[in-house]
Amino acid sequence: MKATARLKALIQSPKLLVMPGAFDPLSAKLIQEAGFDAVQASGLGITASHLGLPDVSILSMREMAERTAAISSAVDIPFMADGDTGFGNAVNVWFTVQAIERAGAAGINLEDQVMPKRCGHLAGKELISTAEMAGKIAAAAEARSDPDFILNARTDALAVDGPDAVVARAHAYFFAGADMVFVDGVDSMETVRMLADRIDGPLAVNMVEGGKTPPGMTFSSLQDAGVARVSLPVSLLLGAIKGMRAALEHIKTQGGTGPDQDIYADFTDTHRLLGMEDVYELERRFLDQDDLDRKYPTGAPRGARP
């Protein structure tokens, strides 16, 4: 089954789809290794990890397409890309969708903020009109070559104009061709249940540690409310930052370094995750035996396939 069709089936399934956010190919591989069914791009994570800058429309469409290609090619499960605001008007959205689809993504997030956008759990957001966003979604729907390519219309209207505006925008976006509506920054389960009851179509939300996500929000509560998808956009980014800080403090405190399973991932297992065993196998299959003997005078390296 195509990745696009697989993602559509997961969204339409009665079971809640949990999509951790990836910010590079390695984090995407870890999400797949952990057994999740799909990967969500983290625009904040991609901007932070590649530029060390906040998520305020710094990356260009071409840069995002390049990163989408790298991440989507690293995993076998569907990957939904982040298209920000479409990097302009409906015309820009047209070309953005085509570029992201060519990059191998199974879907794209498009949001109704004024450019430059910002993280949905921060203050200071501004919205374009409902009509302008509907035009962007219509352009996206016509631009995609695969009808199963998912258009996830994100709205930040909850914090700006309230729940009634969210419902009105959601219906307009579905009418324009969206496959799912993503309400960012939900702050209570009461709001989630109300939106799920009033919005006629797949509803997506996200959970942000330290953001607006309420403590009582769980996967089971979202499942019971009828939510189709939940993304975890910064879980791995925040975990990685904390882990790297802990490793650096450990190095400073110890005055050196060395294997420590409480601090570091296993070195050999990391190479396995990255596919080094496949490199060894390709060498064994295609390199001249004399070259192999010179390369590995003591025999096949640890972890190589027999």
Q: What is the pLDDT of residues 157-174, one digit of tens each?
A: 999 999 999 999 999 999
pLDDT confidence of residue 291: 87
- pLDDT of 300: 67
- The fold for domain 3-233 equals TIM Barrel (3.20.20)
Close Cβ partners of 273 (under 8 Å, ≥ 6 residues apart): 26, 29, 30, 33
Which residue, 155, 157, 153, is CA-closest to 178? 153
The segments of the chain whose pLDDT lies below 50 read 303-306
- pLDDT value of position 305: 45
**284: number of Cβ within 10 Å:** 15
**What's residue 30's pLDDT?**
98
The pLDDT value recorded for residue 306 is 37
d(Cα 1, Cα 274) in Å, to the nearest integer?
25
Specify the pLDDT at position 298: 85
Residue ranges matching CATH 3.20.20.60 in the chain: 3-233
**Taking the mean position of all CA atoms in its chain, how far away is CA 215?**
22
Q: Which of 142, 140, 70, 68 is nearest to 105 (CA)?
A: 68
For the chain, strand residue ranges (E) read 17-22, 39-41, 79-82, 107-111, 150-155, 180-183, 203-206, 229-232
Backbone phi, psi, residue 11, to 5°: -70, -40
Q: Are 160 and 127 in contact (CB under 8 A)?
A: yes
